[in-house]
Structure 1
Amino acid sequence: MKRIQLGNTVFEGENDVYLLDGETTALVDTGVALPDVREELAAGLAEHGVGFADVDAVALTHWHPDHAGLAGEIQAESGADVYVHEADASLVDGTETPLFLDRDLQRETFDRWGMPDSDRNRLTAFFDAVSTNLSGRPAEVTTFGDGDVIDAGGVTLEAVHLPGHTAGLTGFAFDPRTVPDHEPVAGADASEELFAGDALLPRYTPNVGGADVRVDGPLAAYAESLARIVARDFDAAHPGHRERIDEPSLRAATILDHHRHRTRRVLDVLEGAGPATAWEVSAALFGDLSEIHVLHGPGEAFAHLDHLADAGVVETDGTAYRLIEPEPNVDALFPTTALDDAVDGSEG
């Protein structure tokens, strides 16, 4: 297994593409469909004697352009099978329009969040500046569901559905002993590792709420995904950005604890300011935002407010949220894991 790291100035940065080149050749994710990134990926593959035309399969963790953007182009050159979870398939095969290109969906979403016109205009201008061909050429896809198995590069990948960041985000569990040129984690039993996509990142927390506005109950979905990662106790996780995670269960438990803390901060905002919109809560949590974060900030605030509304802690008139249960048991709003006592509580 080889990791090819690509530049990414639009989203979270430092995308990881994984090359599996056993009896067949496969990629896990592809990078965004920008010319310089395409050249980076082509050069990275060439270092291992592989070109786009040699790829037999592409396994996508989710639909976001920085992970799936080049899938259609690779498929056009090689005839590769492109695999994606059924909930994200329409955004890879081109039958559904993503938020950054759908003005009606933008209007509906920004109305719900209470986003001011000036900030809508800033975000729309950002979308217009970066969205040209961002998603790349549509691909013909083969869909899978949770628990399905894919043969990629001679490695058996088990689909582990981990929704929240997107509706169809899926990790791929595999036995590292079956992967050519792969170095397992030192001291681990080396029984199971995970291609995690953006479900688990090493340096910051994946956005929920803004990253895919199609997800119902995004924070609840993501919390359950994190609990599932803890329960599986993978030896290592290979994320969609940056470096390998050698203690994925602890990282997942830490991110889950971060969301408990953030929920408490949201409650403090509502208690101090009275009824507030997702945009107003975002401003209190994150301050001024720019570029893609103008989407992610209120989306994150909305995910927490939506979670509290579902629990009956707040009520909403459709835009503003009012606190009706002033001292809820926040811990009870999230799944518990075996590692809850091991996290240091520093995530806020």
Structure 2
Amino acid sequence: MTAAARTGAAEAGPRVTDHRGGVWSIAVPIPDNPLGHTLVHLVETGRGPVLVDTGWDDPDAWDTLTAGITACGFDVTDLHGVLITHHHPDHHGLSARVREASGAWIAMHAADADVVRRTREAEPGRWLDYLVTKLTAAGAPDEHLAPLRAARAEGRVRGLPGQRAALPDREITPGALLDLPGRRLRAVWTPGHTPGHVCLHLEEDHPAQRPGHGRLFSGDHLLPGISPHIGLYEDPDDTTPTDPLGDYLASLEHVARLAPAEVLPAHQHAFTDAAGRVRELLVHHEERLAGLRALLAVPRTPWQLAEAMEWNRPWERIPYGSRNIAVSEAEAHLRHLVRRGLAEAVPGSEPVTYRAV
């Protein structure tokens, strides 16, 4: 079957695209998510095919992934390895099942492997206490905190999302060529969206001879029409301050310098002109930081700043759990503004409020 036929037969089977040169993508569905799907990439190597990400841990996603592997001309048992761009469940969710079915190894950057390990080992009640403490410090109102406190007091503490996530067998070392016979695939550390996010640079001529340097599997770091969430990923036992937004902006500059001929992201679609997309994202974040600094003409807590920020829907329509993510993003931006000397904490305020400088 031709690539065009496979790609056009969405109703008859998985949406699979042949990117040529031994590279395919499989659109694996994400349940109840506006993103729709994760683009799992399959790369042919001298030891068998390797996946870049795996998709969400869901029966329909598994069926789509395995059917997609078949459409690429392989069986799931042929898989040699799994390369994880980052630990989020729409990328890493099916990794354990892939390993169980095929014996494939799983590789991930050490920083994200630490997040997986912490999540697997975490006592849910302790993490709930940490979340309440963090939200209280951010200025969350009592009506938002009350359900969390009640759940803790009544012992209604469920397992954390991600506690079944697979621990990797191998480490993806930044800058290293991966051990994939017949391919030149180099790891590029791009922290920001997660602390251990990696892009994978296929340092080979583009099969269509497009100008540029190879192809880049960009995960969530560089997407054609979306700016990824940048929040805080912190260890309750580690008080070292971090600047994930600063990390992300620096990582964008790094990717632009690679000048790939084509970008193969984990969502939406493949695209060219990585440097142009990086410029758009840098401008977007500078404009957003300027807007937040204007909002801080009136001192605000992180929660109040999140309420005032522009999202894809009005604050009152943002679901309960998503508000926690929004506050985390507001805090990441605040932290970057403070680091750049453009905002500061108001002395003696509790919860801490921030103002523009």
Q: TM-score, normalised by structure 1?
A: 0.80
CA–CA distance in 2 between the matches of 1:16 and 1:216? Answer: 30
Q: Per the alignment, do residues 112 and 132 of structure 1 end up closer, same or farther by CA in structure 2, a change over 3 Å counting?
A: closer
Q: Determine the C-alpha separation between the residues in 2 that align with 1:279 and 1:315.
A: 16
User: What is the rounded CA distance, in whole Å, between the counterparts of 1:235 and 1:226 in structure 2?
Assistant: 16
- Please point out which of 258, 262, 267 is paired with 2:284: 258
2:42 matches 1:16: no
* Match 1:168 to one of 177, 193, 196: 196
Residue 84 of structure 1 and its aligned partner are, at CA, apart by: 0.4
| Unpaired segments ≥5 residues, structure 2 | 1-22, 151-155, 236-240
For residues 63-109 of structure 1, what are the alpha-carbon distances to aligned partners after superposition, in whole Å with 9 as ceiling and x for unaligned? 11110111111112222111100101134456554999932332233
State how far apart, in whole Å, the 2-side matches of 1:65 and 1:8 are: 9
Question: Structure 1: how far apart are the matches of 2:149 and 2:29?
Answer: 23
Distance in 1 separating the partners of 2:99 and 2:243:
34
Task: Report how far residue 260 of structure 1 moved.
Answer: 0.5
Greater displacement, 40-49 / 254-263: 40-49
Residues in 1 aligned to 2:80 and 2:350: alpha-carbon distance in whole angstroms = 47
Kindly report which structure 2 residues correspond to 1:239-278, keeping only aligned pairs within 5 A, or say none: 239-271=265-297, 274-278=298-302
Q: Which residue of 2 aligns with 1:103?
A: 128
Structure number with the bigger relative contact order (C-alpha 8 A, sep ≥ 6) is 1
Q: Is the contact made by 2:184 and 2:204 (CA closer than 8 Å) also made in structure 1?
A: no
Give the structure 1 partner of residue 253 of structure 2.
227
Determine whether 1:306 maps to 2:326. Answer: no
**Partner of 1:118 in structure 2?**
143
Task: Identify the residue that residue 330 of structure 1 maps to in structure 2.
Answer: none
In 2, the alpha carbon distance for the partners of 1:314 and 1:104 equals: 29
Q: Which moved more, 1:159-168 or 1:142-151?
A: 142-151
- Pairs aligned (count): 314
- CA shift, 1:173, in A, is 0.6
**Distance in 2 of aligned mates of 1:117 and 1:155:** 55
Q: Map 1:87-166 onto structure 2 (within 5 A).
A: 87-92=111-116, 95-97=120-122, 102-120=127-145, 136-152=164-180, 154-166=182-194
One of 84, 91, 101 as aligned partner of 1:67: 91
- CA-based RMSD of the aligned residues comes to 3.1
CA distance in 1, matches of 2:266, 2:69: 17
C-alpha contact (below 8 Å) 1:113/1:319 kept by paired residues:
yes
Superposition deviation, residue 156 in structure 1: 2.4
Distance verdict in 2 for CA 1:77–1:98, change over 3 Å: farther
Q: Is 1:238 paired with 2:261?
A: no
**Residues in 2 aligned to 1:258 and 1:97: alpha-carbon distance in whole angstroms:** 36
Q: 2:56 corresponds to which residue? A: 32
Alpha carbons 1:25, 1:54 under 8 Å: kept: yes
For residues 218 and 36 of structure 2, the distance between their equivalents in structure 1, rounded to whole angstroms, comes to: 16
Task: Give the distance between the partners of 2:126 and 2:106, measured in 1 at CA.
Answer: 23
Question: Which whole-Å deviations, capped at 9, do the CAs of 1:188-210 have from their partners, x for residues lacking one?
Answer: 22532211111111111001015
Identity of aligned residues (%): 28
Q: Retained in 2: the 8 A contact 1:100–1:131? A: no
Secondary structure of the residue aligned to 1:39 is helix
Unaligned runs of at least 5 residues, structure 1: 326-348
Q: For the structure 1 residues 10 and 319, does the alpha-carbon distance in structure 2 shift closer, same or farther, using more than 3 Å as the test?
A: farther
Q: Deviations over 1:168-201 (max 9, x none)?
A: 0000011243xxxx744xx622532211111111
2:139 and 2:249 map into 1 onto residues whose CA distance is 25
**Shift in Å, 1:236:** 1.6
- Letter paired with 1:260: E
Change (3 A) 1:248 1:295: farther
SS in 2 for 1:249: helix
Distance change in 2, residues 1:98/1:234 (3 Å): farther
State the 1:118 CA deviation: 3.4
Cα gap change, 1:106/1:170 in structure 2, threshold over 3 Å: closer, same or farther? same
- Alpha-carbon offset, residue 25 of structure 1: 1.1
Deviation at 1:246, TM superposition (A): 1.0
Corresponding residue for 2:109? 85
Cα distance in 2 between the residues matched to 1:285 and 1:98? 33
1:55 aligns with 2:79: yes
C-alpha change, 1:117 and 1:52, in structure 2 (3 Å) is farther
Alignment match, 1:295: 324
TM-score (norm 2): 0.78
Aligned to 2:355: 323
Secondary structure, in 3 states, of the residue corresponding to 2:82? strand
